[in-house]
Amino acid sequence: MVGKEVAKLVTTLGVADKVLLSSFDPFKIWAAVKENPSLVVGIFYKRKMWDDLVAINVTKSEFGDLPNMRQCVTDAPAGREFMNVLFESGALLKSTGGSFVVMDYNIFNNKNYSNETFQTFKDNYRNDLSFGAFIIDNLVLSDAQRAADEKFLDLLIANDASCLVTDDIPRLLNKLGRNPSKGFANKHLPTLLVLYAIVPFFWLLF
């Protein structure tokens, strides 16, 4: 019902062409697309989706109810390898009619989750797919930790990530060579911002 109601809301408000819908739950995305097929939708991936083996096997049995996923679920191995199949094939994205993927930035090119991530996007997904990363909780990191994860930001920017989701707005604006406005002067401002490298959309998370 969540996906359906969100789709109804953005349609009624007349902003369906200005909104991207995404969720960790593909059933919400599927329901939204059924309500309004013109919506632009995507999938979120987090590390826990690979790490929690009990949840993975439950997920595997449930995902067979998504469009055209029964064969994939039947043929794919269990455990972490199932998540690898979903990610590397793009099956989950295709099943929900998605056009973008946003992942925890620690997943990118991490051998525990998805080796050669950028090459996977290039080789196995449709040409019109865009990808991005969420880089949350930076405000609670120490200066040393923040310095260490700069390499991930550099990697994402160098590989043309289409969106970056963060709670540290000034840092990302500076990284992209944009001057933070006075409204973002306080680094502790609890704000979530999505910066798009190509097209400015409103982002709706549910």
CB of 29 closer than 8 Å to CB of 98: yes
User: Cα angle vertex 26, ends 133, 37, to 5°?
Assistant: 100
Going residue by residue through the chain (206 aa), what tens digit of pLDDT does each one get? 999 999 999 999 999 999 989 999 999 999 999 999 999 999 999 988 888 888 888 888 899 899 889 988 888 888 888 888 888 888 888 889 899 999 998 888 888 887 788 888 888 777 778 899 988 766 677 888 777 778 888 888 888 888 888 888 888 888 888 876 655 444 433 333 333 333 333 344 44
Question: How confident is the model at residue 160, as a pLDDT?
Answer: 86
pTM: 0.75
H/E run at residue 20: strand 19-23
Q: How far is CA 121 from the centre of its chain?
A: 13
Q: What is the C-alpha to C-alpha distance for residues 165 and 172, in angstroms, rounded to an integer?
A: 9
108 secondary structure, DSSP code: B
Asked if residue 129 lies in contact with residue 103, where contact means CB atoms within 8 angstroms, the answer is no
Query: 187: helix, coil or strand?
Result: coil
Range of the domain at 31: 2-205
The partner residues of 132 in beta bridges, in order of sequence, read 102, 163
**Which residues, at least 6 apart from 122, have a Cβ–Cβ distance to it below 8 Å?**
none
Domain count, the chain: 1
Residue 39 CB burial class (10 angstroms; 0-12, 13-18, ≥19): buried
The CATH number of the domain where 45 resides is what? 3.20.20
Helix (H) or strand (E) holding 53: helix 53-63
Q: 131: burial class by Cβ within 10 Å (0-12, 13-18, 19+)?
A: buried
| pLDDT given at position 155 | 86
Q: Quick check: 57 and 35 in contact, CB under 8 A?
A: no
Place of tokens 């309500």: 35
Residue 36: name the closest of 8, 1, 76, 66 by CA. 8
> What tokens were used for 139?
């405000």
Report the residue count for the chain: 206
Angle between helix axes 53-63 and 80-89 (nearest 10 degrees) is 50
